[in-house]
Amino acid sequence: MVLTETAYAKVNLALHVRRRRGDGYHDIESLFAFVDDGDVLRAESRNDGVITLNIDGPFATGLDSGPNNLVMRAARSLPLSDKAIGANLHLTKNLPVASGIGGGSADAAAALRLLNRLWGCGLDDAALCLIAQSLGSDIPACVISRTLRVEGRGEALQPCDLPGVSGTSILLVNPGIALATGPVFQGWDQQDRGALDTSSLDAIIGDGRNDLEPSARALVPQIGDVIAVSGAQAGAALARMSGSGATCFALFCEPEAAQSARASIGASHPNWWMMLGSLR
């Protein structure tokens, strides 16, 4: 049997950093939304207990498919009564690496959802999220892959069904530069600029922010160009950086405007990566 699961790209519609914790993590308040596209993970069952991983796609180069890959770690974390159950996993890497849109976290979450189905584990989302907590901060949210208010270091999740979010057209744009999360957080100025209002999409657009953007732009100045170009497109309601960058996004009220923006930006900046989709 072969099953397929999408590792949905994660977008921080807003990201407020409140404080650095004693354990080295940061307390955040964020609104996570998920695009209806991303990496693709396929699994074929096998009956010898072996788990393998092959990776292809435009961003596969340099990725380790060994036991330390998050997909492999996620696969081994599922409780199995039959130790002879295994799988051949195949990941098509469509999302750029180290780009602020989930990436490895989304892949690990997709592996949990996919193998839960393939192996008949019968675990609900709560059980999968509990497993995901041991793998990484963003992975529980990526298991759910629906709009969520996220607090703490990423483990406190609250469903947030804001009118106007689901179905909104979104254009992801990356200048083609990988950006590690650690240095961006280290460059945060440690100023608490206030709580995140998730009462409406208008509040997210008008009062939300990404507190990591100044630090990220200091490391990758091209982020400023991406935001400026994306925000200048006709019909763009919001242009902002996602996560720790360098991927940015623009929201559009009309899908035709998003399609036109993709064509326009692609013509003027052919080396930038883009993905057009809708929020789930």
For residue 198, report the phi and psi dihedrals to the nearest 5 degrees.
Answer: -110, 30
The answer to the question of residue 244 being in a domain is: yes
How many domains does the chain contain in total?
A: 2
What pLDDT score was predicted for residue 168? 98
The answer to whether 10 is a known catalytic residue is: yes
User: Contact at 8 Å (CB) between 239 and 249?
Assistant: yes
Considering the domain architecture, whether residues 226 and 152 belong to the same structural domain is answered as no
Considering the domain architecture, whether residues 174 and 153 belong to the same structural domain is answered as no
What pLDDT score was predicted for residue 12? 98
Helix/strand/coil for 153? coil
Q: Which of 10, 39, 107, 211 is catalytic?
A: 10
Considering the domain architecture, whether residues 72 and 155 belong to the same structural domain is answered as yes
Considering the domain architecture, whether residues 140 and 115 belong to the same structural domain is answered as yes
Give CB contacts under 8 A, 24+ apart, made by 59-67: 59/93, 59/94, 59/95, 59/96, 59/97, 60/91, 60/92, 60/93, 62/97, 63/93, 63/97, 65/91
What pLDDT score was predicted for residue 67? 96
Residues ≥6 apart with Cβ < 8 Å to 25: 137, 153
Task: Name the pTM for this structure.
Answer: 0.96
- Taking CA atoms, 47 is separated from 44, 122, 142, in Å, by 10, 19, 28
Q: Is the peptide bond before 234 cis (omega within 30 degrees of 0)?
A: no
Considering the domain architecture, whether residues 151 and 207 belong to the same structural domain is answered as no
User: Contact at 8 Å (CB) between 177 and 160?
Assistant: no
Strand pairing report for 248-252 and 2-20: unpaired
Of 138, 159, 180, which residue constitutes the final position of a domain?
Answer: 159
Considering the domain architecture, whether residues 210 and 180 belong to the same structural domain is answered as yes
pLDDT string in tens for the chain (280-residue length): 899 999 999 999 999 999 998 888 899 999 999 999 999 999 999 999 999 999 999 999 999 999 999 999 999 999 997 889 999 999 999 999 999 999 999 999 999 999 999 999 999 999 999 999 999 999 999 999 999 999 998 889 999 999 999 999 999 999 999 999 999 999 999 999 999 999 999 999 999 999 999 999 999 999 999 999 999 999 999 999 999 999 999 999 999 999 999 999 999 999 999 999 999 9
Of 159, 188, 223, which residue constitutes the final position of a domain?
Answer: 159
What pLDDT score was predicted for residue 81? 78
Helix/strand/coil for 239? strand
Considering the domain architecture, whether residues 112 and 6 belong to the same structural domain is answered as yes
Helix/strand/coil for 33? strand
Q: Which of 37, 39, 107, 138 is catalytic?
A: 138
User: Contact at 8 Å (CB) between 170 and 278?
Assistant: yes
Task: Give the range of the structural domain holding residue 253, as residue numbers without chain letter.
Answer: 169-278
